[in-house]
Structure 1
Amino acid sequence: MRLHVHLISDSTGETVTAVARAALSQFDDVAPIEHLWSFVRSDVQLDRVLRGVETVPGLVVYTLVSPHLRYRLEERCHELGVPCVAVLDPVMHVLTTMVGSAGRPKVGRQHAMSADYFGRIEAMNFAMRHDDGQFAEELSEADVVVVGVSRTSKTPTCVYLANRGIKAGNVPVVPGSPQLAVLERLEGPLVVGFTIRPDVLAQIRENRRRMMGLAGEDGGQFGRDYVDVERIREELVFARRLFARHGWPEIDVTRRSVEETAAAIIQLLQLRRHPELGIPPDELFAAMLVTDRHDNG
């Protein structure tokens, strides 16, 4: 089933898009066609949106602060027989009851250039500077250090964490590399090891070789050994022994998206910062992390 989904916001639209996509992902038989209407802050802009809704009706999901614009949108959707959902209203109603006040609505408040915003910028700069083992001597300033063999999604995970304001660097596992010696002396940051199924990693690396135009034997560091499953298995055995020796939690990224992997790391950080939550680390690891057991040692 094809479904037109109108995502309407008076700011960037990130919130309404994320909520709608999370809900729609639960329906295998729905093929959503998204129409994002961002920065809707005037009657003229809303008129344009309403013409779009009338042309291709479907589902309207919105986050609007202005009572006037909300009323106009809901009234017109009612006239058109189009479902209209204010995604933040249930949370706002509960908060109003708990806090005893209605808050002070302000457009785009969560995107303001606050201390959190500048913290995210700083974290992003940190992730870029400390990618792939660069400036390893500065990693004591990190919140998280991700360790793993080549092509295990270390960089995108660090970038995702940076967007959450978490300073993350990553280091490749290469036997004898000076970066590993620096890692072994780290005391402050949370160090997390990434592993993956050998055959899956071989395919990922082969795809990278093809993208780089390296299909033959002499590909330098991207030669045949780079994609050989047995050689990869040896790399992973070395990595997992390193993780175990230092007691670093291990995440199998074989079937995990970057978002899921980052969420697991954030849980580990939360547990580290708030041990009063009382979740035993072993229980957390068993439930969230090393769930995709495979033959890599």
Structure 2
Amino acid sequence: MRDNQQIFICSDAVGETAEAVVRAAMRQFAFTSGKLRRYGHIKHADEVRAIVDEASRCRGVIAYTLVQPELNGVMREETSARGVRAVDVLSPMMQAFIDTFEDTPNRIPGLNQSLDAEYYRKIEAMEFAVHYDDGKDLRGITLADVVLIGVSRTSKTPICLYMAHKGIRATNWPLVPEIPVPEQLLKRRNGLVVGLTMDPDKLVSIRTERLKALGLPKGSVYATAARVEDELRYANRIMNMVGCEIIDVTNKAIEETVGIILERLPADRAFSSPNL
């Protein structure tokens, strides 16, 4: 695959869905400099023809989400006539819904970005994650759908923010031997508590890099093997006391960890429509 491969992303909405699929596919190939060119809010057939013309000249690939039948038809016709490789990201799934559920789609662009209740739920969840992060306000432990506990640098905050993007109110509490565990955590009965742990050597490496980024001395106790092992033992004891599930996040992507957590989340707390 050429490193200068151009990939055109076309949509009659924003184009986030097609771009997400393209980036997922790109990660399966050993090239890093492919150029993504995103064209959103396409409204006219001439815009489609111009994009296909450009893709033809540079031998590019087109990924598109055009829910309006007229524009979708023009894209199919033009790419076929010009010999341009194009992938319709959305239509096969929509057709599967039509055939299976015997329903008719709205064919309205941009519904994924509409300012509906789901959108505002995500905004509220993001504000919640920021406000209650790292035990800044103990009320968050009672109010959250999910509470994460673990030692420093086990990805608690990034995981909370990722869950917020799915409409889940999440907060976290750092487990440090010198800081008492709050009663709110020990007595929590509603919602989910999840413990995060990590391989000691990996955690030492992450903390060492963190010290470097902050310009702090390499020999700080924070990043020593002895301190890390002490903290992990303490954290494991607290997690067992709380009775929560423990997830080892060593070499796990944030998305993978969130997927595991969402599987454990009660149905009435889960976000019904994932952000695609």
- Alpha-carbon deviations, 1:119-152, whole Å to 9, x = none? 0011000000010111113321110011111111
Q: Does 1:225 align with 2:221?
A: yes
- The residue correspondences of 1:65-84 to structure 2 (distance < 5 A) are 65-84=67-86
- Alpha-carbon deviations, 1:185-228, whole Å to 9, x = none? 111120111111111111111111111111265xxxxxx11010
Q: Does 1:115 align with 2:111?
A: no
**Where do 5+ consecutive residues of structure 1 fail to align?**
218-223, 275-297
TM superposition shift of 1:17: 1.5
- The residue correspondences of 1:14-93 to structure 2 (distance < 5 A) are 14-28=16-30, 32-93=34-95
Provide closer, same or farther for how the CA distance between residues 8 and 15 of structure 1 changes in structure 2, counting only shifts above 3 A: same
d(CA) in 2 for partners of 1:64 and 1:53? 17
Provide closer, same or farther for how the CA distance between residues 36 and 179 of structure 1 changes in structure 2, counting only shifts above 3 A: farther
Higher helix share: 1
- The residue correspondences of 1:59-208 to structure 2 (distance < 5 A) are 59-208=61-210
Alignment check: 8 A CA contact 1:173 1:180 kept: no
d(CA) in 1 for partners of 2:269 and 2:123? 22
SS of structure 1 residue aligned to 2:265: helix
Provide closer, same or farther for how the CA distance between residues 142 and 24 of structure 1 changes in structure 2, counting only shifts above 3 A: same
Provide closer, same or farther for how the CA distance between residues 157 and 273 of structure 1 changes in structure 2, counting only shifts above 3 A: closer
Alignment check: 8 A CA contact 2:98 2:105 kept: yes
Taking structure 2 as the reference length, the TM-score comes to: 0.89
Which structure would you say has the larger RCO, counting Cα contacts within 8 Å and 6 or more residues apart?
Answer: 2
d(CA) in 1 for partners of 2:82 and 2:19? 22
SS of structure 1 residue aligned to 2:152: coil
d(CA) in 2 for partners of 1:71 and 1:37? 17
TM superposition shift of 1:80: 2.1
TM superposition shift of 1:112: 0.3
d(CA) in 1 for partners of 2:54 and 2:202? 44
- Alpha-carbon deviations, 1:129-178, whole Å to 9, x = none? 01011111332111001111111111111000000000000110012525
* Residue of structure 1 in register with 2:263 after alignment: 267
* Residue of structure 2 in register with 1:209 after alignment: 211
- The residue correspondences of 1:280-295 to structure 2 (distance < 5 A) are none
Q: Does 1:238 align with 2:234?
A: yes
- Alpha-carbon deviations, 1:4-42, whole Å to 9, x = none? 322211222111112223334344579743222222223
Alignment check: 8 A CA contact 2:79 2:85 kept: yes
d(CA) in 1 for partners of 2:203 and 2:179? 21
Cα RMSD between the aligned structures? 2.2
d(CA) in 1 for partners of 2:188 and 2:266? 19
TM superposition shift of 1:44: 4.8
d(CA) in 2 for partners of 1:113 and 1:128? 21
In the alignment, residue 66 of structure 2 is paired with which amino acid?
L
Alignment check: 8 A CA contact 1:136 1:179 kept: no
d(CA) in 2 for partners of 1:230 and 1:175? 13
Alignment check: 8 A CA contact 2:194 2:246 kept: yes
* Residue of structure 1 in register with 2:252 after alignment: 256
In the alignment, residue 198 of structure 1 is paired with which amino acid?
P
- Alpha-carbon deviations, 1:68-105, whole Å to 9, x = none? 22222222211221121211122111211222232221
TM superposition shift of 1:50: 2.8
SS of structure 1 residue aligned to 2:237: helix
